Structure 1
Amino acid sequence: MFTPQGPTLRELAVQALSSVERGYDLLAPKFDQTPFRTPDAVLDPVTRALRASGPYENGLDLCCGTGAGLGVLREVCTGRTVGVDFSAGMLRVARDEEPDASYVRGDALALPFGPAFDLVVSFGAFGHFVPGQYARLFSQVRQVLRPGGRFAFPLPAPARPGSLAYWAMLGFDGAMRVRNALWRPPFVMYYRPFILSDVRRELDRAGFDVTLRGLPDLGKRPDGSPRCGLVVATRR
């Protein structure tokens, strides 16, 4: 699937019927050959935007996967960079990709750090959290940031109702809900619930001041609004 080096359809099926942790352990060696890895076309504009607002000292990549976001931190942080993920398989690949970073196997809902970081980033991981977990997730991020530290992540504009992307995401989320109703353990991955209004409200409640910066390199929608923005939440 996807590329000759990518996972087979059978491998993807086995992953989808596993737990989230086990599924990513299985997929890790071929993850970067799938569309699920955040592309450089997104990482590069985020790097430029953060470089303009930096520099930062210590950085954390939350749910780092195979380390794509650690390359961003390497460019904008002057101190240490750390990746945290609960998949040992993904962390093994990340160590090969970004050997100068440090790695911790841990749960994003129970981060094993004090206020040691000036910047936390995350790419493509929020679908693994249901809305009822946002408050705890953002509270954990606040806990590991120094006062004035920032939590930054790209957030695409919602798909227009009736568009191909809209129906694709609706179909994917519906299939996942059916899968989780019929099969255990669950595999939590939903694309549609993580929307700006809810995210902004929960970040504010967790103690952040929130701004949204456009990423013009990623294009504009027909109404002139950006296709993707960079959410920057500053710890109060």
Structure 2
Amino acid sequence: MFSPQGPSLRELCVQALSSVEHGYDLLAPKFDHTPFRTPESILGATAHTLSELGPFDHGLDVCCGTGAGMLVLRSLCRGRVTGVDFSAGMLGRARSAHPGATWVRADARALPFTEDFDLAVTFGALGHFLSAERPALFEGVYRALRPGGLFTFPIGAPPPVTSVSHWVTLGFDLAMRVRNAVWRPPFVMYYRNSPLTAVRDELAAAGFTATAAALTGSGRHRNGSPRYWLILARKPADAG
């Protein structure tokens, strides 16, 4: 549908009527040929910003998918880099693309790590978590980080109400809510369920000190507002 190498419309429909895990198992072989993969511009802008805060030792990519975040971690981390995802299909593709990394299959709402990492990232994953699930995600990342560790991720800024993007994302989210109301298993993917203020509050509740900076290099909306913010959530150095 998106390119000759990408999934067909039928394949996307089958995926959308599956669970999140099985849907991504199905999509994995063609995922990198879709617009759902985090663009290189976002990865590069994130790595550039973090380069001023590092270097770091061990890095973790939460909900790693096919491993795009490894391009950021490997440019910043001097030690082990690890990806975690609950889709076996996505992990299989990531393992093939980045054989030197460590891969763990696990649910991000119950991460199996304790103070193992200095840097944690995630790209394009928050939409797969309902607001009631985000605290468990953030608490798990907090446990996974060493004292002083950093959790960071780009988050889309709301587009102006007059823009096409506003109405496209609104329409998509409404369609997904209708789909999940009438079809099981649910497929959780929403573009507008992670407002910046709520995410910062939830990170603070998990123990982080969280700030947000405009992600330079990711572009701006026509009204001049940034397209993306970069969340920088620091675990206190004296955390016990």
TM score, norm. by length of structure 1: 0.97
1:217 is paired with a residue whose SS is coil
Q: CA deviation at 1:222?
A: 4.2
Aligned to 1:229: 229
1:168 is paired with a residue whose SS is helix
- Among all aligned residue pairs of Structure 1 and Structure 2, give the percentage whose two residues are the same amino acid: 58
Letter of the 1:58 counterpart: H
1:216 is paired with a residue whose SS is coil
Structure 1: gaps (5+ residues):
none
Letter of the 1:72 counterpart: V
Whether 1:70 and 2:31 are equivalent positions in the alignment is: no
Q: Distance in 2 between matches of 1:224 and 1:174?
A: 27
Letter of the 1:126 counterpart: L
Aligned to 1:155: 155
Aligned to 2:88: 88
Aligned to 2:56: 56
Q: Distance in 2 between matches of 1:9 and 1:221?
A: 29
Q: CA deviation at 1:224?
A: 3.6
Aligned to 1:16: 16
Q: Distance in 2 between matches of 1:182 and 1:220?
A: 37
Deviation track 1:106-160 (CA, whole Å, cap 9, x = no partner) reads 0000011111000000000010001111111111110100111000001121111
Aligned to 1:127: 127
Deviation track 1:1-53 (CA, whole Å, cap 9, x = no partner) reads 00001001111111000110000000000000000000101101111111111
Deviation track 1:184-222 (CA, whole Å, cap 9, x = no partner) reads 110000110101100010101110111112222122334
* Shift in alpha-carbon separation, 1:172–1:223, aligned structure 2, 3 A: closer
Aligned to 1:201: 201
Q: Distance in 2 between matches of 1:229 and 1:191?
A: 15
Deviation track 1:55-93 (CA, whole Å, cap 9, x = no partner) reads 000000000000000111000000000000000000000
2:60 touches 2:83 (CA, 8 Å); kept in 1?
yes
Q: Which stretch of structure 1 is more off in the superposition, 198-207 or 160-169?
A: 160-169
Q: Which segments of structure 1 move beyond 4 Å, counting only runs of 4 or more?
A: none
1:109 is paired with a residue whose SS is helix
1:129 touches 1:188 (CA, 8 Å); kept in 2?
yes
1:19 touches 1:187 (CA, 8 Å); kept in 2?
yes
Aligned to 2:140: 140
Letter of the 1:50 counterpart: L
Letter of the 2:103 counterpart: Y
Q: Which stretch of structure 1 is more off in the superposition, 222-231 or 141-150?
A: 222-231
TM score, norm. by length of structure 2: 0.96
Instruction: Give RMSD over aligned pairs.
Output: 1.0
1:71 touches 1:98 (CA, 8 Å); kept in 2?
no
Q: How many equivalent residue pairs? A: 236
Q: Distance in 2 between matches of 1:55 and 1:92?
A: 28
